[in-house]
Amino acid sequence: LMFRKNLRKQARQLENELDLKLVSFSKLCTSYSSSRDGRRGDSNSDTAPLLNNSTQDRMFETMSGEIEQLLAKLTGVNDKMAEYTSTPGVTSLNAALMHTLQRHRDILQDYTHEFHKTKANFLAIREREDLLGSVRKDIETYKSGSGVNNRRTELFLKEHEHLRNSDRLMDDTISIAMATKENMTSQRGLLKSIQSRVNTLANRFPAINNLVQRLNLRKRRDSLILGGVIGVCTILLLLYAFH
């Protein structure tokens, strides 16, 4: 019994340490991405960003090793608990022990999954940022080594930024268009329901039929006008985006 309590105490202690480590690990990965994004446009402070990135990389490697060690220790404790449950002298408590063991295994699995997911995200961000940094470095080297083409390089960079802004504008436009489409689809269903009821009344009362026909003509005219306005706006947005 004392051995079982000791194992459960070790498991809870390791789980608490892992929880704190994973929170800090996630914050490190988030701050790495944020700091890189904040320094993308800064070309006058090369030394400090490199030092900061190197420090973050070392912290990442250190924390990864610590978390992996804790996961290995927790796995070992769970294995010992599994061996204890199969001991012949504890068969009467086997059901409760198996429930406790399964709970600790689920926690271990969740922590392992979270660690690998966060680590993979960090590595993907670092690889992407290293690639972008290499491209920016090549551009800076080209600019400094070829004074004749400096103007062309600046134009290229401006065009690149313009394309990125255009891409964001197109994404926003598509999002607005999709939302508008959903809204119009909903309104179309509502209008069809209303029109069906009005047609029913018109069939019953011929005097209303003429009014319904006039409303239908006006609706068609409004639809044509609205379609024309949407088409003109879309063309203007495309012209602005790729100008």
CB atoms under 10 Å from CB of 126, counted, come to 18
CB atoms under 10 Å from CB of 78, counted, come to 19
Q: Which parts of the chain have pLDDT scores under 70? A: 1-4, 33-53, 87-95, 138-151, 198-199, 201-209, 243
Question: What is the structure's pLDDT at 29?
Answer: 79
Asked if 46 and 138 count as a contact pair (C-beta separation under 8 A), the reply is: no
Q: Measure the CA–CA gap between 81 and 101, rounded to whole angstroms.
A: 7
- Amino acid of residue 160: H
The tens digit of pLDDT for each residue in 160-182 reads 787 777 777 877 787 787 778 77
Question: What is the structure's pLDDT at 69?
Answer: 92
SS (H, E, C) 71-98: HHHHHHHHHHHHHHHCCHHHHHHHHHHH
Question: What is the structure's pLDDT at 49?
Answer: 44
Q: Measure the CA–CA gap between 147 and 210, rounded to whole angstroms.
A: 77
